Amino acid sequence: MALLIALALFVAQAINFGMILHDRSEFRLLQATRPVATRIADALDREAHGGRPLTADRGRVRRTPTNPIARSIMERHPEVAAELRRQFADLGLTVGRIDTGLRPAIDETSDAHRRDGLRRGDRQGPTLLIAIEQPGRGWLAITAPWPQPGWRLLLAALTQTAILYIIVLLPVLWIVRRISRPLQDLRRAAESFRPGDPGAPMPPHGPDDVVALIAAFNALRLRVTGMLDEKDRMLGAIGHDLRTPLAALRVRIESVEDDIDRAKMIDTVAEMNRTLDDILSLARLGRPSEPPTDVDLAALVDAVVEDFRDLGCEVSFVEADRLRMRLRPSLMRRAVRNLIENAVKYGVAAEVRVEERARSVAIVVADQGPGIPEDRMGDVFDAFTRLESSRNRETGGIGLGLALAQAIVREAGGEIRLVNRAGGGLDAIIELPR
């Protein structure tokens, strides 16, 4: 904001300086032409009323038979000629051509100085020689001082700009800083807010509007925390209410005489329990009860792979060095387990490895399946989304595995990527920051 104000002041001063330069240029033009037009009008009037005639060797206004500037290489100023023609018209004088020539400063003892009728002590700067044609009577020549643009104008503009910046910009900087500091604190507090850790309320400070905003943020944080607490209590009650009839149903299933039907019922109840666990875990993920601890990530992944081996699944683990990481172990085990379950379900076999990189650690689960279409890569992370459309739970589940794994990894500060390998198969990669 302060930069924009400073830029606006600079632009305003630049416009003001341009207007001053334009006015100064107009003033210089009038300063050079008005005395010339007056003197020529007076000289012609005196000559017409029997006064001293104009000659080529005396007086400020001299009469010459030809244009004294015609063959000169002096710098021309057509704007002076145009202004003189306008002033002569206002005075009622009819003139022909008007020529101008700027010549450098002359010494006061020179012949040119005396010839131009300048007295000792007169202006010694550049002078403007002006020749005015009188049709049928020759030319009138006069020398006029030519004001030079000095450094005073630029110095005055710079001084004015500095004063303006001191008077306007410094108070604005102080006001902006007074407003922005509490806003920056509020932004940091909002970024660091975690639903499971409400922390201390942010102390209100700054202008009245910012104080009101901070108070509203503190109240909002309390309301969000209260709503999440209520949600956790509701989820706990739902989980309890659902698990109780499922447990009773599991007991009653034991009385079913048909072994095949009993096994199917037991599998159905087990699947319902797993689905309930996934839903509750996904809903509670923002407020995990497990604190982060230092664990050996390679050993954690190896233990998950060993569980699948005990179930007879074709899963292998590439041995890796010990790698200490701070994370929530049970949640990370669940994320890795979900990826391996998908790899075994859709890719028959899985190879799991832990790769240590410069700024991250990657857990790679590589399967031998058909992969995923590129245009569906993002869809598989949506809850209750299945690429397998048969609705058979043995082949597709309910579509929560990858959604839960992604939520767990993002809560740990990482990300999950799915990459189709060129030779076939899919790599599911968990990347965690070091």
User: How far is it, in rounded angstroms, from Cα 324 to Cα 69?
Assistant: 93
256-301 residue pLDDT tens = 888 888 888 887 887 787 777 766 766 666 555 677 899 999 999 9
Give the pLDDT of residue 392. Answer: 44
Q: Residue 13 burial (CB < 10 Å; 0-12/13-18/19+)?
A: middle
Average pLDDT, the chain: 79
Instruction: Supply angle C-alpha 278, 276, 293, rounded to 5.
Output: 40
On the question of pLDDT at 202 being above 60, the answer is: yes
Give the pLDDT of residue 351. Answer: 92
What is the DSSP-derived secondary structure letter of residue 75? Answer: B
Hunting for tokens 């048969």 — which residue is that?
390
Q: Say if residues 54 and 61 touch (Cβ distance below 8 Å).
A: yes
85-106 residue pLDDT tens = 898 888 888 888 898 888 876 5
DSSP strand E in 186-317: where? 293-296, 315-317
Give the pLDDT of residue 354. Answer: 92
Closest CA to 40 of 83, 91, 77: 91
What is the three-class DSSP state of 151? helix
Superfamily (CATH) of domain 290-433:
Histidine kinase-like ATPase, C-terminal domain (3.30.565.10)
Q: For the chain, what is the radius of gyration of the CA atoms?
A: 47
On the question of pLDDT at 378 being above 80, the answer is: no
DSSP strand E in 67-113: where? 98-103
- Provide mean pLDDT across the span 216-241: 80
pLDDT band at 361 (very low <50, low <70, confident <90, very high): very high
Give the pLDDT of residue 183. Answer: 86
Give the pLDDT of residue 24. Answer: 77
pLDDT band at 393 (very low <50, low <70, confident <90, very high): very low
On the question of pLDDT at 110 being above 70, the answer is: no
365-377 residue pLDDT tens = 998 888 888 877 7
- Provide mean pLDDT across the span 46-57: 75
Q: How far is CA 84 from CA 78, 101, 216, in A?
A: 10, 14, 72
Q: Token digits for 92?
A: 């009622």
Give the pLDDT of residue 385. Answer: 61
Q: What share of the chain is helix, strand, coil (3-state, %, to 5)?
A: 55, 15, 30
Give the pLDDT of residue 117. Answer: 47
Q: Token digits for 386?
A: 């299945």
pLDDT band at 216 (very low <50, low <70, confident <90, very high): very high
Share of the chain above pLDDT 70, in %: 84
On the question of pLDDT at 116 being above 70, the answer is: no
Segment among 228-237, 267-276, 386-395 with least mean pLDDT = 386-395
Hunting for tokens 């459309």 — which residue is that?
389
Q: Token digits for 372?
A: 């995923």
> For residues 124 and 59, which has the higher predicted lDDT (pLDDT)?
59
User: How far is it, in rounded angstroms, from Cα 232 to Cα 160?
Assistant: 65
First to last CA, the chain: 37
Listed as own residue / partner, the contacts of 416-425 with beta carbons closer than 8 Å and 24 or more positions apart are 416/339, 416/381, 418/372, 418/377, 418/380, 420/371, 420/372, 420/374, 421/366, 421/371, 424/368, 424/370, 424/371, 425/347, 425/366, 425/367, 425/368, 425/369, 425/371
Q: β-strands 350-356, 415-420: how paired?
A: unpaired
User: How far is it, in rounded angstroms, from Cα 297 to Cα 294?
Assistant: 9
CATH code linked to domain 190-287: 1.10.287
> For residues 347 and 363, which has the higher predicted lDDT (pLDDT)?
363
Structural domain spans, the chain? 2-149, 190-287, 290-433
pLDDT band at 118 (very low <50, low <70, confident <90, very high): very low
User: How far is it, in rounded angstroms, from Cα 6 to Cα 11?
Assistant: 9
Give the pLDDT of residue 383. Answer: 61
On the question of pLDDT at 352 being above 90, the answer is: yes
290-339 residue pLDDT tens = 778 999 999 999 999 998 888 888 899 988 888 898 888 888 888 898 89
Cβ-count burial 318-350 (b if 16+ within 10 Å, e if not): eebeebebebbbebbbbbbbbbbbbbbbbbeeb
Q: β-strands 350-356, 315-317: how paired?
A: parallel
On the question of pLDDT at 148 being above 60, the answer is: yes
